[in-house]
Structure 1
Amino acid sequence: MANSGLLKRLGRMLTEDLDEIEDGRIQRECQAHGAQRAVDCARGDEATMVGELRSVETCSRNTKSGVVAEFFDGTDTVVLKWMGRNRIPGIEPGRRVTIRGRVANADGMKVVYNPYYELHATEE
Protein backbone atom coordinates (compact mmCIF):
# COMPACT_ATOMS: atom_id res chain seq x y z
CA MET A 1 0.00 0.00 0.00
CA ALA A 2 2.94 2.39 0.52
CA ASN A 3 3.57 2.25 -3.22
CA SER A 4 0.06 3.59 -3.84
CA GLY A 5 0.91 6.90 -2.12
CA LEU A 6 4.19 7.11 -4.00
CA LEU A 7 2.43 6.53 -7.33
CA LYS A 8 -0.16 9.23 -6.54
CA ARG A 9 2.56 11.79 -5.72
CA LEU A 10 4.53 10.82 -8.83
CA GLY A 11 1.43 11.13 -11.01
CA ARG A 12 0.64 14.54 -9.50
CA MET A 13 4.21 15.75 -10.08
CA LEU A 14 4.10 14.66 -13.72
CA THR A 15 0.76 16.31 -14.48
CA GLU A 16 0.87 19.43 -12.29
CA ASP A 17 1.68 22.79 -13.85
CA LEU A 18 5.29 23.90 -13.19
CA ASP A 19 4.08 27.31 -11.95
CA GLU A 20 1.85 25.59 -9.38
CA ILE A 21 4.76 23.45 -8.19
CA GLU A 22 6.97 26.54 -7.84
CA ASP A 23 4.20 28.48 -6.04
CA GLY A 24 3.78 25.58 -3.60
CA ARG A 25 7.53 25.47 -2.95
CA ILE A 26 7.63 29.20 -2.21
CA GLN A 27 4.58 28.93 0.10
CA ARG A 28 6.15 26.07 2.09
CA GLU A 29 9.35 28.06 2.52
CA CYS A 30 7.40 31.10 3.75
CA GLN A 31 5.55 28.98 6.31
CA ALA A 32 8.87 27.50 7.50
CA HIS A 33 10.09 31.04 8.23
CA GLY A 34 6.87 31.91 10.08
CA ALA A 35 6.14 34.75 7.69
CA GLN A 36 2.74 36.13 6.79
CA ARG A 37 1.15 35.27 3.46
CA ALA A 38 0.76 38.21 1.10
CA VAL A 39 -2.79 37.17 0.24
CA ASP A 40 -3.76 37.60 3.93
CA CYS A 41 -2.25 41.08 4.27
CA ALA A 42 -4.53 44.09 3.98
CA ARG A 43 -4.04 47.85 3.76
CA GLY A 44 -2.59 49.19 6.99
CA ASP A 45 -1.13 45.88 8.18
CA GLU A 46 2.46 45.75 9.40
CA ALA A 47 3.70 42.62 7.61
CA THR A 48 6.74 40.37 7.43
CA MET A 49 6.81 38.27 4.26
CA VAL A 50 9.28 35.89 2.65
CA GLY A 51 9.36 35.40 -1.10
CA GLU A 52 11.27 36.25 -4.21
CA LEU A 53 11.66 39.22 -6.49
CA ARG A 54 10.18 38.54 -9.90
CA SER A 55 11.17 41.82 -11.52
CA VAL A 56 13.13 44.93 -10.59
CA GLU A 57 13.03 48.33 -12.30
CA THR A 58 15.46 51.10 -11.53
CA CYS A 59 14.98 54.77 -12.28
CA SER A 60 17.24 56.90 -14.36
CA ARG A 61 19.07 59.76 -12.74
CA ASN A 62 16.62 62.24 -14.33
CA THR A 63 13.54 60.82 -12.63
CA LYS A 64 12.93 60.45 -8.93
CA SER A 65 10.70 57.39 -8.93
CA GLY A 66 13.17 55.09 -7.15
CA VAL A 67 13.55 51.32 -7.33
CA VAL A 68 10.40 49.27 -7.93
CA ALA A 69 10.31 45.49 -7.47
CA GLU A 70 7.61 42.86 -7.88
CA PHE A 71 7.63 40.55 -4.83
CA PHE A 72 5.87 37.15 -4.91
CA ASP A 73 5.41 34.73 -2.01
CA GLY A 74 3.42 32.00 -3.76
CA THR A 75 0.05 33.49 -2.80
CA ASP A 76 -0.01 37.07 -4.07
CA THR A 77 2.11 39.80 -5.60
CA VAL A 78 3.23 42.89 -3.68
CA VAL A 79 4.92 45.91 -5.25
CA LEU A 80 7.95 47.16 -3.30
CA LYS A 81 8.97 50.80 -3.81
CA TRP A 82 12.17 52.33 -2.48
CA MET A 83 11.83 56.08 -2.96
CA GLY A 84 14.84 58.27 -3.75
CA ARG A 85 17.14 55.41 -4.74
CA ASN A 86 18.39 54.74 -8.26
CA ARG A 87 19.74 51.27 -7.44
CA ILE A 88 20.10 48.88 -4.49
CA PRO A 89 22.88 46.26 -4.52
CA GLY A 90 21.46 42.75 -4.19
CA ILE A 91 17.92 43.71 -5.20
CA GLU A 92 17.65 41.75 -8.43
CA PRO A 93 15.16 39.40 -10.13
CA GLY A 94 15.12 35.88 -8.72
CA ARG A 95 16.56 36.92 -5.36
CA ARG A 96 14.89 35.49 -2.25
CA VAL A 97 14.18 38.15 0.42
CA THR A 98 12.41 38.76 3.69
CA ILE A 99 10.61 42.10 3.72
CA ARG A 100 8.95 44.07 6.49
CA GLY A 101 6.77 47.12 6.19
CA ARG A 102 3.29 48.59 6.20
CA VAL A 103 1.00 47.46 3.39
CA ALA A 104 -0.70 50.15 1.32
CA ASN A 105 -2.87 50.09 -1.80
CA ALA A 106 -2.05 51.96 -4.99
CA ASP A 107 -3.92 51.48 -8.25
CA GLY A 108 -5.52 48.30 -6.90
CA MET A 109 -2.17 46.68 -6.03
CA LYS A 110 -0.64 45.94 -2.63
CA VAL A 111 2.40 48.18 -2.13
CA VAL A 112 5.04 48.47 0.58
CA TYR A 113 7.02 51.73 0.50
CA ASN A 114 10.67 51.72 1.61
CA PRO A 115 10.47 48.21 3.10
CA TYR A 116 13.10 46.85 5.42
CA TYR A 117 14.64 43.86 3.63
CA GLU A 118 16.97 40.96 4.30
CA LEU A 119 18.66 39.21 1.40
CA HIS A 120 18.78 35.42 1.60
CA ALA A 121 21.92 33.58 0.53
CA THR A 122 22.02 32.73 -3.15
CA GLU A 123 22.10 29.07 -4.11
CA GLU A 124 25.08 28.56 -6.39
Structure 2
Amino acid sequence: MDEVPAEPTPETSREPQSGREQSGLRRFLRRLASSRAELEAEDLQKSSGEEGAIPIAVCPERKRACVAGTLRTVTLRPRGGAPALEAELYDGSDVINLIWLGRRRIAGIEPGRRLRAEGLVSLQDGRKVIFNPKYDLRGTS
Protein backbone atom coordinates (compact mmCIF):
# COMPACT_ATOMS: atom_id res chain seq x y z
CA MET A 1 0.00 0.00 0.00
CA ASP A 2 1.30 3.42 -0.92
CA GLU A 3 1.37 6.03 1.81
CA VAL A 4 0.05 9.43 1.02
CA PRO A 5 2.25 12.18 2.39
CA ALA A 6 0.52 14.30 4.98
CA GLU A 7 -0.36 17.83 4.01
CA PRO A 8 2.01 20.35 5.46
CA THR A 9 0.71 22.11 8.54
CA PRO A 10 1.83 25.57 9.61
CA GLU A 11 4.09 23.96 12.23
CA THR A 12 5.82 21.61 9.76
CA SER A 13 5.92 23.89 6.73
CA ARG A 14 7.73 26.74 8.48
CA GLU A 15 11.44 26.90 7.97
CA PRO A 16 13.44 27.12 11.18
CA GLN A 17 14.51 30.63 12.08
CA SER A 18 18.16 31.43 12.27
CA GLY A 19 19.70 32.01 15.68
CA ARG A 20 20.04 35.71 14.90
CA GLU A 21 16.32 36.08 14.08
CA GLN A 22 15.33 34.18 17.24
CA SER A 23 17.53 36.28 19.50
CA GLY A 24 16.29 39.49 17.86
CA LEU A 25 12.67 38.44 18.37
CA ARG A 26 13.39 37.37 21.93
CA ARG A 27 15.10 40.70 22.65
CA PHE A 28 12.19 42.64 21.11
CA LEU A 29 9.60 40.74 23.15
CA ARG A 30 11.62 41.17 26.36
CA ARG A 31 11.95 44.92 25.78
CA LEU A 32 8.23 45.14 25.00
CA ALA A 33 7.30 43.39 28.27
CA SER A 34 9.83 45.23 30.48
CA SER A 35 9.18 48.36 32.49
CA ARG A 36 10.99 51.58 31.73
CA ALA A 37 13.09 51.24 34.92
CA GLU A 38 14.19 47.73 33.89
CA LEU A 39 15.18 48.95 30.42
CA GLU A 40 17.15 51.87 31.86
CA ALA A 41 18.92 49.52 34.29
CA GLU A 42 19.82 47.18 31.43
CA ASP A 43 21.18 50.06 29.33
CA LEU A 44 23.20 51.38 32.29
CA GLN A 45 24.74 47.97 32.93
CA LYS A 46 25.68 47.61 29.28
CA SER A 47 27.29 51.06 29.05
CA SER A 48 29.09 50.61 32.40
CA GLY A 49 30.66 47.40 31.13
CA GLU A 50 31.83 49.17 27.99
CA GLU A 51 33.65 51.74 30.16
CA GLY A 52 35.69 49.04 31.90
CA ALA A 53 33.69 49.25 35.11
CA ILE A 54 32.39 46.38 37.20
CA PRO A 55 28.78 46.17 38.42
CA ILE A 56 28.30 47.85 41.80
CA ALA A 57 26.41 44.77 43.03
CA VAL A 58 29.59 42.67 42.85
CA CYS A 59 32.09 45.27 44.15
CA PRO A 60 34.16 43.61 46.85
CA GLU A 61 34.49 45.41 50.17
CA ARG A 62 37.95 46.80 51.05
CA LYS A 63 39.17 46.50 47.45
CA ARG A 64 39.75 49.14 44.78
CA ALA A 65 37.07 49.16 42.13
CA CYS A 66 36.08 51.09 39.05
CA VAL A 67 32.34 51.78 38.77
CA ALA A 68 30.25 53.77 36.30
CA GLY A 69 26.66 54.91 36.21
CA THR A 70 24.33 57.85 36.63
CA LEU A 71 24.23 60.17 39.62
CA ARG A 72 20.78 60.01 41.22
CA THR A 73 21.21 62.50 44.06
CA VAL A 74 23.83 64.99 45.17
CA THR A 75 23.66 66.42 48.70
CA LEU A 76 25.80 68.45 51.06
CA ARG A 77 26.05 66.54 54.32
CA PRO A 78 28.43 67.75 57.05
CA ARG A 79 30.63 65.07 58.65
CA GLY A 80 32.30 65.88 61.93
CA GLY A 81 31.78 69.61 61.46
CA ALA A 82 33.41 69.64 58.01
CA PRO A 83 31.52 69.80 54.71
CA ALA A 84 31.12 66.65 52.64
CA LEU A 85 29.58 66.35 49.19
CA GLU A 86 27.71 63.06 48.84
CA ALA A 87 26.44 61.60 45.55
CA GLU A 88 24.48 58.41 44.93
CA LEU A 89 25.71 56.53 41.84
CA TYR A 90 23.40 53.96 40.21
CA ASP A 91 24.56 51.52 37.53
CA GLY A 92 21.48 49.34 37.06
CA SER A 93 22.64 46.66 39.48
CA ASP A 94 23.01 48.57 42.76
CA VAL A 95 23.84 51.93 44.34
CA ILE A 96 27.10 53.24 45.80
CA ASN A 97 27.67 56.52 47.64
CA LEU A 98 30.56 58.69 46.51
CA ILE A 99 31.72 61.08 49.24
CA TRP A 100 34.14 63.95 48.77
CA LEU A 101 35.31 65.15 52.18
CA GLY A 102 35.92 68.88 52.65
CA ARG A 103 33.98 69.82 49.51
CA ARG A 104 30.79 71.86 49.28
CA ARG A 105 30.46 71.67 45.52
CA ILE A 106 32.23 70.15 42.52
CA ALA A 107 31.53 71.50 39.04
CA GLY A 108 29.73 68.89 36.94
CA ILE A 109 28.68 66.71 39.87
CA GLU A 110 24.90 66.97 39.55
CA PRO A 111 21.90 64.59 39.34
CA GLY A 112 21.50 62.91 35.96
CA ARG A 113 25.19 63.15 35.09
CA ARG A 114 27.02 60.01 33.94
CA LEU A 115 30.21 59.38 35.83
CA ARG A 116 33.00 56.83 36.09
CA ALA A 117 34.62 56.60 39.53
CA GLU A 118 37.48 54.64 41.04
CA GLY A 119 38.49 54.12 44.63
CA LEU A 120 38.49 51.91 47.70
CA VAL A 121 35.05 50.43 48.38
CA SER A 122 34.05 50.34 52.03
CA LEU A 123 30.85 49.56 53.88
CA GLN A 124 29.30 52.22 56.10
CA ASP A 125 25.94 51.67 57.81
CA GLY A 126 25.30 48.75 55.46
CA ARG A 127 25.83 50.85 52.30
CA LYS A 128 28.72 50.75 49.83
CA VAL A 129 30.82 53.91 49.88
CA ILE A 130 33.88 55.31 48.12
CA PHE A 131 35.56 58.27 49.85
CA ASN A 132 37.30 60.91 47.70
CA PRO A 133 37.03 58.89 44.47
CA LYS A 134 38.99 59.60 41.34
CA TYR A 135 36.33 60.35 38.72
CA ASP A 136 35.71 61.11 35.05
CA LEU A 137 32.59 62.99 33.99
CA ARG A 138 30.70 61.51 31.03
CA GLY A 139 27.75 62.86 29.03
CA THR A 140 24.34 63.26 30.61
CA SER A 141 22.00 60.25 30.60
Cα separation, partners in 2 of 1:37 and 1:9, compared to 1, 3 Å: closer
Aligned CA distance change for structure 1 residues 76 and 101 (closer, same or farther; 3 Å): same
Query: How far 1:4 sits from its partner (Å)?
Result: 5.5
Shift of 1:74: 1.2
Which has more radius of gyration? 2
Aligned residue pair count? 121
Q: In structure 2, what is the equivalent of residue 9 of structure 1? A: 27
> Alignment RMSD, CA only?
1.9
Residue in structure 2 matched with residue 90 of structure 1 by the alignment = 108
Could you tell me which runs of 5 or more consecutive residues in structure 1 were left unpaired when the two chains were aligned: none
Q: What stretches of structure 2 of length at least 5 have no aligned partner?
A: 1-16
Tell me what 2:84 maps to: 66
TM-score by length of 2: 0.77
Deviations 1:54-91 (A, max 9, x none): 1101248xx52410100111111001111111111100
Letter in 2 for 1:27: Q
Further displaced range: 5-14 or 27-36: 5-14
* 1:106 paired residue number: 124
Alpha-carbon distance in 1 for matches of 2:22, 2:49: 28
SS of corresponding position for 1:36: coil
The aligned counterpart of 1:119 is 137
Aligned pair in 2 of structure 1 residues 10, 121: CA closer, same or farther (>3 Å)? closer
CA shift, 1:97, in A, is 0.6
Work out the CA distance in 1 between the residues paired with 2:33 and 2:140.
29
CA separation of 1:16/1:65 partners in 2, compared to 1, >3 Å: closer, same or farther?
Answer: same
Q: Structure 1 18/101 Cα, relative in aligned 2: closer, same or farther at 3 Å?
A: same
CA distance in 2, matches of 1:115, 1:58: 16
Higher relative contact order (CA 8 A, sep 6+): 1
Is the contact between residue 112 and residue 140 of structure 2 (CA under 8 Å) also seen in structure 1?
Answer: no
Identity %: 36
- Pair 1:28 & 2:46 matched: yes
TM-score by length of 1: 0.87
CA 90–10 in structure 1, closer or farther in 2 if over 3 Å, else same = same
- Cα deviation per residue 1:24-46 (whole Å; 9 max; x = unaligned)? 10011111122111111122110
Q: Is 2:60 the partner of 1:42? A: yes
